[in-house]
Amino acid sequence: MKKIGIMTTGGDCSGLNTAIQRIMHGASLRGWDVYGILDGTDGLCTNPPAVVKLSDMMLPIENARLAGSFLHNGHSNALNFETAAETGHLDTFNKKLRKSLKTLDLDALILIGGNGSLSLAWANRSIYRDLQLVCIPKTIDLDIPLTERTIGFDTAVQQLTSFCDQLMLTARSHHRWFVVQAMGRDCGQLALHAGIAVGATAILIPEIKFDVNNLIKQIKQSPVDYGVIIVSEGISLRGHSGRPADMISRKLTSAGIPNRTAFPEHTQRAGDTTATDRILATRFADCALTAIENGETYVMTVLENDLVHTVALSDVIENGESVADPKIPELFTSNAYVNSDSPLLALAYDMGIYIGELK
């Protein structure tokens, strides 16, 4: 009988509970014991480790659609990779993780995380040397290399689209423009997808240069006097500081364009998990369990050409754009961004959406 653990790390998103429930259920069908590690790596810093044995009665399938993580994702003031690096206690932190994993005596650990968590897992892979490590990608940013989708992204797109749909109604009533700031860090996938879905007048993302004067011209030439401009949180405007949506709003106001800003913020990481995300979480869960059966380790599940399979975690790291972590200088995260040849960029351009200086 195998003994496996599940851990969710980094920011939460919809679809985590679906993945947890499907892993637990699939493992129980195989006769395996499943333990959930509470609060991510924080749960491995306690003595004894903070874990709970999972079962169908504990995680009923009707609750798997809920956002967030049943296992939690960690306390803001707890010891983790970032706080340990900042305070010079990284060696102590790593020793605690190794000791806890040895105490738990797991055969395998399924880590459900974003690009930061996966990059950390690879950089500190010696911690997991005595067990199989299988990773599942989750993030609303869709910034993890080699996979076409991540758990949580589709629900986040739906959440942001629904938010903008409601703003569009009041925008029309008051002949006004709304500048909506989307999450996504320095990746524009969320803003791009939701912007096309809602029929935004403009979409500004970090990957594509934009000209504020051309944005203003686009708005003034619009056949209607209202609409939504979606701004990714990772954009910058030379000579200006503050929140990106506020910076763009001030420019529009100076040009005589009536507007308001709107910040959906963490509602993008909430909401009942969409069917698409539930299916993806189920496929990733099944793939992860199969990987454990096959003796794989240091791998990540991916969606590629509608097929789910595993790739080496080292390939994920090597194929991404390496960026230094601002909180852990010696750590480089592996990132994926909107490619200049993305069909959605061309689609936005063809639909008359201002997407920046694309051509």
Residue 101 lies in a domain: yes
pLDDT of 168-199, one tens digit each? Answer: 999 999 999 999 999 999 999 999 999 999 99
338 and 327 Cβ atoms separated by less than 8 Å: no
Same domain (yes/no): 160, 54: no
Q: Does residue 51 fall inside a structural domain?
A: yes
Averaged pLDDT for residues 250-279: 97
Domain count, the chain: 2
Q: Specify if 191 maps to a domain.
A: yes
What pLDDT is stored for residue 327 in this prediction? Answer: 75
Percent of the chain with pLDDT over 90: 87
* 256 φψ region: left (φ > 0), alpha (ψ -120 to 50), beta (else): left
Residue 147: both structure tokens together = 């996979």
Return the residue matching tokens 């529009």: 252
Specify whether the CB–CB gap between 353 and 202 falls below 8 A.
Answer: yes
Query: Is 186 an annotated catalytic residue?
Result: no
Residues 172 and 245 in one domain: yes
Same domain? For 222 and 283 the reply is no
Per-residue pLDDT at 166 exceeds 80: yes
The predicted pLDDT at position 240 comes to 85
Tens digit of pLDDT for each residue in 133-160? 999 999 999 999 999 999 999 999 999 9
Long-range contacts formed by 281-286: CB under 8 A, 24+ apart: 281/15, 281/16, 281/18, 281/19, 281/22, 281/151, 282/18, 282/19, 282/22, 283/308, 284/19, 284/136, 284/137, 284/151, 284/308, 285/18, 285/19, 285/22, 285/23, 285/26, 285/136, 286/22, 286/26
| Cα-trace Rg, the chain | 22
The tens digit of pLDDT for each residue in 208-220 reads: 999 999 999 999 9
Residue 329 has pLDDT above 80, yes or no: no
User: Could you tell me which of 214, 168, 212, 206 has the C-alpha nearest to residue 190?
Assistant: 206
Domain check: are 132 and 195 in the same one? no
How many Å apart are CA 66 and CA 63, to the nearest integer?
6
172 and 228 Cβ atoms separated by less than 8 Å: no
Both tokens of 26, joined, read: 């699939």
> What local confidence, expressed as pLDDT, does residue 160 receive?
98
Distance CA 36, CA 50 (A): 9
CA dihedral of 39, 44, 49, 55, whole degrees rounded to 10:
50
201-245 pLDDT tens trace: 999 999 999 999 999 999 999 999 999 999 999 999 888 889 999
Let me know: does 289 contact 295? Beta carbons within 8 Å. no
From the list 12, 39, 42, 141, the catalytic residue is 141
Residues 139 and 177 in one domain: no
Give dist(CA 346, CA 183) in Å, integer: 22
Q: 10 Å Cβ neighbour count for 63?
A: 12
Same domain for 281 and 143: yes
In terms of residue numbers, what domain contains 187? 155-269+340-350
Question: Does 217 share its domain with 307?
Answer: no
What DSSP letter does each residue of 28-95 carry, written as one string? HHTT-EEEEETTGGGGGSSSS--EEE--TTTS-GGGTTSSS-TT----TTS--HHHHHHHT-HHHHHH
Quote the tokens at residue 90.
């990284």
Worst-scoring range by mean pLDDT, 39-43, 187-191, 264-268, 355-359? Answer: 355-359
The listed range with the strongest mean pLDDT (56-70, 273-287, 314-328) is 273-287
**Same-domain pairing of 108 and 18:** yes
Does 238 map to a domain? yes
CB burial of residue 57 (10 Å; 0-12, 13-18, 19+)? exposed
pLDDT tier for residue 86 given thresholds of 50, 70 and 90:
confident
Q: CA angle 30-33-36, nearest 5°?
A: 125
Spatial distance between the Cα atoms of 355 and 359, rounded to a whole number of angstroms = 10
Write the CATH number for 44.
3.40.50.450
Choice between 331 and 55, residue whose per-residue pLDDT is larger: 55
Is 358's pLDDT higher than 90?
no
> Residue 355: inside a domain, yes or no?
no
Predicted local distance difference test score (pLDDT) of residue 346: 96
Pair 25, 104 in one domain: yes
Percent of the residues in the chain that have a pLDDT greater than 70, as a whole number: 100
Entry pTM: 0.96
- Confidence band for 2, pLDDT divided at 50, 70 and 90: very high
Question: 141 and 15 share a domain?
Answer: yes
Q: Is the pLDDT of residue 326 over 80?
A: no
Q: Report how far residue 204's alpha carbon sits from residue 125's, in angstroms, rounded to the nearest whole number.
A: 37
